[in-house]
Amino acid sequence: MTVKPTFPNLLNIRDLGGHPTRSGETTRWKALLRSDELERLTVEGAQALLDYGVSTIIDLRWPIEATSRPSLFQTTPGEVRYLNISLLGESETAWQAIRPKVTKEMWSCVILDYLQSEIYAVMRAIAEAPASGILFHCQSGKDRTGIIAALLLAVAGVEPEAIADDYALTTDNLREAYLAAAPPEEHAEVLERVRCPPEQIHNMLAHLEDNYGGPLGYLQKIGLKENEITKIKQKLLSE
């Protein structure tokens, strides 16, 4: 089971530690965290992240999102290394121009196929980051963040059900706040927006196996070197 650290104003942050793997290990705590956008953080929340050991932040949002809603880590340079690596291309307009119309349950499969250079950049940044805490996030910490988290956990050999359960936690984390911020006539739309079906992850894992020989084969296909893959696995598993 994952743990939700307390960082004021964040809705959807959690550590990727504590997940069971097929080899009998568990993933490391305080190594990799996933989150919604850090613009919401108070000064105290930012300090809590530092105290937790975060030293690298990878922002998966479009550049316009990052500049229009910057976090304290962007506006106040300090000891945290900040990287903006947009997962869905250079802009929302560019992404919409190539985005296939698929169901939510198949979304991650499309991202794996269409945005390999972007995923490569994110995974390489994780491989090359210092061994202390790495946090990656998008806006809601749902789709862009969710696929990177699922891929990382798959590389570590985490049990498929645990990966799907981690993804599905986002629904509960976002539901109450998102409903409270929307008028009643939009509640059905909000519930669909925050829905994170476990089937999406099971489809993604099957897609990796059927088309790339598994998550490690996928990382090799998109260009990661063997030593970079090893560094990622060590961040996830080595004590």
Q: What is the pLDDT of residues 55-100, one digit of tens each?
A: 999 999 999 999 999 999 998 878 899 999 999 999 999 888 888 8
pLDDT of residue 239: 63
d(CA 207, CA 67): 34
Q: Quick one: fold of 14-237?
A: Protein-Tyrosine Phosphatase; Chain A (3.90.190)
CA distances (Å), 86 to each of 58, 61, 125, in order? 9, 5, 12
pLDDT of residue 6: 77
pLDDT of residue 5: 58
Beta bridge partners of 133: 54
Decide: helix, strand or coil at residue 57: strand
d(CA 86, CA 64): 10
Total-model pTM:
0.95
Compute how many other C-beta atoms are within 10 angstroms of the C-beta atom of residue 43. Answer: 10
Cα pseudo-dihedral 53, 37, 233, 105, rounded to 10: 150
Structure-block tokens of residue 10: 């964040």
Q: Which residues of 9-35 are buried (b: 16+ CB within 10 A; e: fewer)?
A: ebbbbbbbbebebeeebebbbebbbbb
Strands 32-35 and 54-59: unpaired
CA nearest neighbour of 193 among 178, 180, 203: 178
Question: pLDDT under 50 in the chain at which residues?
Answer: 1-2
Q: Please tell me the total number of residues recorded for the chain in this structure.
A: 239
Cα Rg for the chain, rounded, in angstroms? 17
Q: How far is CA 148 from the centre of its chain?
A: 4
Beta bridge partners of 56: 81, 134
